[in-house]
Amino acid sequence: MEEQKSSMPLLGDAFPAMKVQTTHGPMTLPGDLAGGWFVLFSHPADFTPVCTTEFVAFQKRYDQFKELDCTLVGMSVDQVFSHIKWIEWIKSELDVEIEFPVVAANDSIAMKLGLLHPGKGSNTVRAVYIVDPAGAIRLIMYYPQEIGRNIDEVVRAVKVLQISDAKKVAMPAGWPDNELIKDHGIISPATDMATAAKRAQEYECFDWWFCHKSLD
């Protein structure tokens, strides 16, 4: 029998369609979340220290994601019974109630998302997929099992993707606290000489190829 290979989706790809069991009941992804943004994040295993810190951190920012019309979805290859018990433990021992669904994935689902790596056993790696209202994967973050993620960066990533789409600008490093242009957006570089000549009159510029504007 041919060995099943893990294939990581690429930016711009449609999020793979899948029917999953979650702590909130059955779901179809991305169909049930169509029309809004969602973040799917995988974790290696329930009842592990780094994953527990991440779940608490995601929940602490749950309202921030909600304000961005963005749904959180967790995932690992643990059974749903394990997810439920772990969530109960987080509530009873850490006084944090996990409000987002957690997918009980199988190897087939994990393979579709490139979450199983040779030499890492059956545990999923730490991946983050940010998916837009059309079901397209817009951003991917990949972390090794031993490194916890910065959840504030996930919130920022959703926010800058939405602003970039709405304002038709690129977003600088560290937005909204960029060292050069603070909270401005970056204008696409001119592609002809006439446009390049006008840029400095239309926007704030370091040069015609590096112009920016307020997003207010």
Q: Which positions are annotated as active-site residues?
A: 51
Report the SS3 class of residue 103: strand
User: For the chain, how far is it from start to end, CA to CA, in angstroms?
Assistant: 58
Beta partners for 14? 136
Which residues make Cβ contacts (< 8 Å) with residue 183, sequence separation at least 6? 175, 176, 177, 214, 215
Beta-carbon neighbour count of residue 89 at 10 Å? 13
Inter-residue contact 15 to 109 (CB < 8 Å): no
CA dist., res. 87 & res. 7, Å (int): 30
